[in-house]
Structure 1
Amino acid sequence: MSDRMLNSLTFFSALGSGLIAGIFFAFSVFVMAALSRLPAAQGIAAMQSINVVILNTVFVVVFIGTALASVILAITSFFRWGEAGATYLLAGSLIYLIGSFMVTLVFNVPLNDALAAVDPNSADGADLWIRYNVSWTAWNHVRTLATIVALTSFIIAFRQWD
């Protein structure tokens, strides 16, 4: 991979990690707290709507695009092992892939699927909402921290090439 392509992909991954970190940060700091203050039926309905609306082209391109770029950068880091920034490139890539992408697929998406299947006005819905809020938010904190660390690693890798 050319240096120019590597720089561009690293920049894209840093930007993508930062954008995703901002989304996760907002949910960790105030969105979920605000939703939990609503009556269960309203909180469920709002989160169900968010989970549908977030699956738009821009979000998917940034979220999945950063994951794909991270795979390429992780592989590239092995071919450039020993060069400045390679360790940070690998770290940022793996942290994004595991702490953001995989945590989302393994933990947050199944929770979202369970919430999507519940009637917001039911007793089962109210019970699920309490468990959902605690578990989903805890895993979102993991994703927030992971994307911030990935962003930092990509920036450090990028800066070491100057």
Structure 2
Amino acid sequence: MEVRLTREMEKNRSVLAKAGGGSAMPELGGFYESMSKSAAKAGLPPDEGSRSYRPQEELTEEQIQMFEKGNQDMLQHYNSTLDKVRTAEKSLLEIAELQTLLVGNLATQSAHIEQLVADSENITQDVGGGNKQLKKAAQRPSAARYTFFASAGLCAFLILWDLVI
């Protein structure tokens, strides 16, 4: 995705560079000269093309300066807008990277959670089996149990005998 955005930016830069003639804004004189050249290309005789529209002769210095100032203001506005777009683009790229990182972390956590669930099910089965074995062991008569009760009874008998005598 980043490569695609980089290519798109390069394409836009090259188109802007071609359209602007390598500079940010063409001079007004160059613009008017290109107008007379386009009139010549349109098939008009050179006299008619140059006579039909000569804004340098019709406009005063103040009007030309006003147009130049307007062009500069427009250029500044578009440059500031371009800066805002670049900032937004950087933010979007950063958001995309963070989203990719988040997706990776969530996938890892999901795998760990699934492993924990499987482990808890195994532990539950093991504990259940252990409880069953304890119940069986408690129900079976054992020699250790009889030995304990016999020794406890003997001790109680000896204590009582000692108190009586």
TM over 0.5: no
TM score, norm. by length of structure 1: 0.32
TM score, norm. by length of structure 2: 0.32
Task: From the CA coordinates, give the structure whose radius of gyration is larger.
Answer: 2
Q: Which has the higher contact order (CA 8 A, sep 6+)?
A: 1
